[in-house]
Amino acid sequence: MANDYDVIIIGSGAGGGTIAYTLADTGKKILILEQGTFLPREKNNWDPLFIFGEDGYKADVTWQGPDGGQEIVRPMVYHRVGGNTKMYGALLHRQRPEDFTEQQHKGGVSPAWCVGYDEFEPYYLMAEHLMKIHGNRGEDPTEGHASGPFPFKAFPHEGRIAEVVADLKKVGLNPHHSNLALNRDIDEPWKRPCIACNTCDPFPCMLHAKSDAETALIRPALKHDNVTLWTNSRVDRLIEKDGKISRIELEKDGQKLALSADLIVVSCGAINTAALLLKSKVANSSDQVGRNFTKHNQSGISAINPDKVNDVVFQKTLGCHDFYHGSPEHDYPLGTIQLTGKAHWKRIMGDYAHIDVTREQAERIQKLAVDFWFTSEDLPTQRQTVRWTDKGIQFNYVPNNRESHFEFLDYFQEKYLRQIGFSEFYRSTKELEFTWHQAGTAQFGLDPKTSVLDKNCKAWDLDNLYVVDASFQPSQGATNPTLTIVANAIRVAEHLRQDWFGEGKKLTTADYPLSDGYMADNADANIEVTKYVAGDEDSWGA
C-alpha cells in the first residue's frame, strides 16, 4: 500500500522550515505538521504590556522539574507556526571553528563534532542568504573563514550606541556589527519592510520583516502546490515496523488520525523531539535520547551612565566576541556579548523582579541604560536529561559551567564598562524556564553505541527517520543556535535530494535567492488551518 506522503515534517521551526523550503521544488508530496496555530497579526504583537505580561503568546505548558529541585517548570515556549523563532531576536551567528573541536572550559569539556567547520562552511553561507543576514566580514576577530560576503550590509550604530562602540575601541576591544536576520535595505529602506523599530526582540514582527521560520521558510515553501501545512496537529507517537517508521499517530483538531510517509523528519525542538522519541520507544538503542541537554548560560546587564540618555530606537547593532576564547586573565572560554533590543520598563520590571524594581526605577533604567546580553557555553553531560514519564516531560537539568559565566560578567563590567563611564549596573540571569537555546538530546556521531543519529542526522536504528532541530548538536559554543540549525538542515536536505531523490547537484547560494518572495501574499496556499470559532481565546488576525 502506498504511503500518504513522500515526506512528513513534524514541526515548523527553523529546522523543519528549512527542510520544507529546500525540498519544496522537488515536486515530492510534502506535509508539515504543527501542533499550534498561526500567531495572529494584531496590535498585541507590539504591545510590551501584553508581550511581557503573565501570558503573552506563551504556550500553556508545564514540565516536571529536576530531581530534588524545582518541582514545576513553566517554560517560555511558543507553539506556533514558526515555533520559538516567532519571538526570537533574529541575531544569527555562525559557531566559531574551535566550537567544532574539543574545548576545555573551567567547568569541564565541550566535545568535538563528527564534522568540522570547513565542511559546514558552505551551508552557513547558504543559511545566511536564506535568512537574509546583515553584517560586515572581518570585524569579529574570532570569526571563521567565509567563502563569501554577508548578503546585506550591516545595520549602522546610532547615537549613544555609536558612542559606546567608539569607547570600547579606545580601551582595546573589537566591537563588531551584529549579524541580524532582518529584511531591510540599509541604503534604500523603502524597498523592504523592516523599519528598524524598538520591537525586534522578543516581539513577533507585525510587518513580517523578521526572518522567523514562518516568514522566511514555511510561507515561501507553501507557494509550491506539493507542500501542505496542517496546524493544530499534534503528533502523539511514531510507530516502528521492520526498521522504519511505518505510521505516525496524531490528533488534528481533536480527531485521531494516522499517516505514513517514505521519509519522516522530526524537528520539534530538542526537548519535545526527545520526548516524542522516548514516548514512542524508538531510535534509542544507544540509551542517549534525552541526554546531553544544553541551553546556554545567559545573563543581562543594564548599564547606566547617569549623565547620558540612551534614546536610540534600534539598539541591537553591537556585538563583542573578544572574550569568546578567554582573556589575558582567563585561559578558558568566556562567551559572547551583544545588545538586546531597547528594554521597555515592563520588561525591566520582570527582568529585575528579584530586586523589587519599581515602575519609576524601571522607567529611569529604560531612559538611561544600554542593555548588554552575555551568553556562555554550558556543557553536555549524561545527567542533563529530558525524560518522558507518566506525568509527561521531566526537565532534569541543573545549570553548569556557571563560575566562568559570572566571572565573565564581573570582568567586563569592572574592567571595561566602568572604564568607559558606566557606574550603575542591574543584572539578571536566566534560569530553568528560559529554554530558547535548547540543544543536544539526540546527538549525531560516528558510533551508534554512543550517538542517536549518524553524520547525516538519520537515526541509526531506523531507515527513514531524520532529526533536524538542535537535538543533533554535541555542543553549541556560545553563539545563538538558529543559523547552525538552518545550515545543518540545508546540509541534510542536500543529502536527501541526492541519496533519496537521486539528484546529482550540490546546493549553492543560487538556490536561496535574496529576491525570494519572503512571506508573500500566499495565505491561500496549501494550509489546513483551524477555523475561527466565536469566543476562541486566540485573537485571529490577518
- Give 155-168 pLDDT, tens digit per residue: 999 999 999 999 99
Render pLDDT for 452-501 as a digit per residue (tens, 0 to 9). Answer: 999 999 999 999 999 999 999 999 999 999 999 999 999 999 999 999 99
Residue 525: what pLDDT?
Answer: 55
Is the pLDDT reported for residue 542 higher than 90? no
Cell for 369?
Answer: 541604560
Enumerate the H helices of 38-77 as residue ranges: 48-51
User: Is 134 strand, coil or helix?
Assistant: strand
- Reported as a pLDDT band with limits 50, 70 and 90, residue 369 is very high
HEC string for 452-493: CECCCCEECCCCCEEECCHHHCCCCCCCCCHHHHHHHHHHHH
Render pLDDT for 328-340 as a digit per residue (tens, 0 to 9). Answer: 999 999 999 999 9
Is the pLDDT reported for residue 539 higher than 50? no
Q: What residues pair up with 338 in beta bridges, in sequence order?
A: 319, 373
User: Is 166 strand, coil or helix?
Assistant: helix
How are beta strands 5-10 and 261-266 bridged, if at all? parallel
CB 528, CB 229: distance < 8 Å: yes
Residue 68: what pLDDT?
Answer: 77
- Reported as a pLDDT band with limits 50, 70 and 90, residue 504 is confident
Q: With both helix axes pointing from N to C terminus, report the angle between 482-495 and 14-23 in degrees, rounded to the nearest 10.
A: 40
Is the pLDDT reported for residue 521 higher than 70? no
Kindly report the number of other CB atoms within 10 A of residue 304's CB atom. Answer: 21
Is the pLDDT reported for residue 516 higher than 60? no
Give me the percent of the chain exceeding a pLDDT of 70: 95
| CB neighbour class for 108 (10 Å; exposed up to 12, middle 13-18, buried from 19) | middle
Render pLDDT for 242-261 as a digit per residue (tens, 0 to 9). Answer: 999 999 999 999 999 999 99
- Reported as a pLDDT band with limits 50, 70 and 90, residue 538 is very low
Q: What residues pair up with 304 in beta bridges, in sequence order?
A: 424
Phi/psi of residue 500, nearest 5 degrees: -100, -40
Cα gap 334→299, rounded to integer Å: 13
Residue 253: what pLDDT?
Answer: 93
